[in-house]
């Protein structure tokens, strides 16, 4: 007797062995100029498990046009097969990525060709400029002087130039392709906060991803690797096989309190709403199962315009009606002359916030922009604790630290 062992029966899927997952839904959430995708990924045949608050990672592919452009700029035959040995002798890996392979495959799947190159890459390729002015510019940018740093900052960072743009704008720079490949970083998976709960969707993970696309100062349109690939190549088309994406799931510490009666405050402007959609499904499930009232569930959401980027508006209104959400605070920043942000609303509601965290042992969750929003929100919580908890700044800081160590103050932020 023999039996057929399916691959999912003996290999757990993880970062090194991603699951090739079918996408079953990919729909637009925004109206207007920007795009945000609601994507549902089928995990039925994977044995993957997740909790609301976890992250899903996606391995993307680079844009074929950019890969071809590198071949063209360097006069290279992209179908050439090569082997790259790991220069780091301490590494357990003989090759930095699966080899032998072709330049096309390496540039499409394994190497980062869209980030701004570091100075050591510029130093290496400077040697291959036949034009002295171009060589000089590259060399200057690698110097640790004020002038060097300023020119790197302006020419590379402020102009968002990738390696492709550098090669385009310095036409005499022709490094051999195998040399360039040695210095490029590996293409990294992109993480997304899962926007569903397994209580409602045990067989799929949902993501809420805004498509990255912007114009640079050199008048180029830069497109985010993963989000553009998902938008342009991973649409679900009736009667056609489901598009496939390599994924794995990363556990997080971002978790709801186990008791449904514990009140929560969630602050998630923009795509920061993503994990809270999962949390709300979870609270909804608790409410239906227990038939007991939930603790206060307070959500702060903000977007640019109510008519364009109000994510999951209908779902949020339904939750409000069912009392899964008790208070919904909305900030539409561009619907009036003066900007209104979630932070402004939090400032107005300090007394309510203190009741939740100071008197009812509630939990706080923040998700989204790490650069300014999360910092400003933290500052408002400190002010709230000072003012309504009658504490000094030091005592307020200790209070918040204690909340963090008790997992009652959690942030899931990115920049």
Q: How far is the CB of 190 from ligand FAD (least distance, A)?
A: 4
Do 277 and 206 touch, CB atoms closer than 8 A? Answer: yes
Per-residue interface string for the shown chain with ligand NAP, residues 221-260, x marking contact by CB under 6 A:
---x------------------------------------
**Residue of 193, 195, 196, 197 marked active site:** 193
Shortest spacing between CB 341 and ligand NAP, in angstroms: 4
> What is d(CA 198, CA 200) in angstroms, rounded to the nearest whole number?
5
Which H helix or E strand runs over 163? helix 163-169
The number of residues in the chain equals 415
For residue 137, give the 3-state DSSP assignment.
helix
Report the residue number, 73 or 226, with the smaller CB distance to ligand FAD.
226
Q: How far is the CB of 255 from ligand NAP (least distance, A)?
A: 22
Rounded to an integer, what distance in angstroms lies between the CA atom of residue 125 and that of residue 173? Answer: 7
The answer to whether residue 190 forms part of the interface with ligand NAP (CB under 6 A) is: no
C-alpha to C-alpha distance for 189 and 187, rounded to whole angstroms: 7
Is 193 considered catalytic here? yes
Number of residues forming the site for ligand NAP (CB under 6 A) = 23
Residue 354 is among the residues annotated as catalytic for this protein: no
In this chain, which stretch among 70-78, 96-104, 264-272, 354-362 interacts with ligand NAP, using CB under 6 A? 264-272
Nearer to ligand FAD, 46 or 227 (CB): 227
- Which sign does the torsion angle of CA 113, 119, 121, 123 carry? positive
Contact 380, 357 (CB under 8 A): no
Question: Is 112 annotated in the active site?
Answer: no
Classify the C-alpha dihedral 353-355-358-360 as positive or negative. Answer: negative
Binding site for ligand FAD (CB under 6 A): 55, 60, 114, 160, 190-193, 208-210, 212, 214, 224-227, 271, 274, 414
Among 112, 151, 335, 414, the one annotated catalytic: 414
Query: Of the two residues 210 and 331, which places its CB atom closer to ligand FAD in the complex?
Result: 210
Q: Report the nearest approach of ligand NAP to the CB of residue 61 (Å).
A: 17
Residue for token pair 């096309």: 104
307 is catalytic: no
Q: Can you tell me which residue has the tokens 């291959």?
A: 128
What is d(CA 26, CA 234) in angstroms, rounded to the nearest whole number? Answer: 8
Shortest distance in whole angstroms from residue 228 CB to ligand FAD: 6
- Phi then psi for residue 191, to 5 deg, are -100, 145
Q: How far apart (Å, rounded) are the C-alpha atoms in residues 404 and 366?
A: 12
* Residue 334 touches ligand NAP, criterion: CB under 6 A: yes
User: Which residues sit at the interface with ligand NAP, rule CB under 6 A?
Assistant: 210, 212, 224, 269-272, 302-304, 309, 333-334, 339, 341-343, 368-369, 372-373, 376, 415
């Amino acid at each position: 007797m023999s039996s057929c062992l399916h691959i999912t029966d003996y290999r757990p899927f993880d970062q090194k062995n991603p699951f090739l997952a079918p996408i079953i839904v990919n729909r637009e959430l925004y109206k207007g100029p920007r795009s945000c995708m609601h994507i549902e990924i089928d995990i039925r045949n994977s044995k993957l498990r997740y909790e609301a608050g976890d992250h899903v990672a996606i391995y993307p592919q680079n844009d074929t046009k950019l890969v071809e452009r590198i071949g063209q700029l360097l006069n290279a035959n992209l179908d050439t097969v090569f082997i790259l040995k790991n220069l780091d002798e301490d590494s357990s890996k003989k090759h930095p990525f699966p080899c032998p392979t072709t330049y096309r495959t390496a540039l499409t799947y394994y190497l980062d060709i869209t980030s701004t190159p570091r100075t050591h890459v510029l130093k290496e390729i400077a040697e291959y400029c036949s034009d002295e002015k171009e060589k000089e510019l590259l060399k200057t940018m690698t110097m640790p002087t004020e002038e060097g740093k300023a020119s790197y900052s302006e020419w590379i960072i402020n102009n968002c130039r990738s390696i492709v743009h550098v090669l385009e704008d310095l036409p005499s720079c022709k490094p051999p392709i195998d040399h360039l490949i040695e210095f490029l970083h590996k293409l990294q998976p992109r993480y997304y906060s899962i926007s569903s709960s397994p209580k409602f969707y045990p067989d799929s993970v949902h993501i809420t991803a805004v498509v990255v696309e912007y114009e640079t100062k050199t008048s180029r349109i830069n497109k985010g690797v993963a989000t553009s690939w998902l938008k342009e190549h991973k649409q679900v088309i009736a009667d056609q096989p489901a598009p496939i994406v390599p994924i794995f799931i990363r556990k997080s510490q971002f978790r709801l309190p186990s008791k449904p009666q514990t009140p929560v405050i969630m602050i998630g402007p923009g795509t920061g709403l993503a994990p809270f959609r999962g949390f709300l499904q979870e609270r909804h499930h608790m409410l239906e199962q227990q038939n007991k009232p939930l603790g206060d569930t307070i959500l702060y959401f903000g977007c640019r315009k109510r008519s364009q980027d109000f994510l999951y508006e209908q779902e949020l209104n339904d939750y409000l009606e069912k009392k899964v959400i008790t208070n919904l605070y909305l900030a539409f920043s561009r619907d009036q002359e003066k900007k209104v942000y979630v932070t402004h609303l939090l400032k107005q509601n300090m007394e309510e916030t203190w009741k939740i965290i100071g008197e009812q042992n509630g939990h706080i969750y923040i998700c989204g922009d790490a650069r300014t929003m999360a910092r400003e929100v933290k500052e408002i919580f400190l002010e709230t604790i000072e003012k309504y908890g009658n504490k000094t700044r030091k005592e307020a800081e200790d209070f918040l630290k204690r909340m963090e160590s008790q997992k009652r103050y959690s942030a899931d932020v990115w920049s």
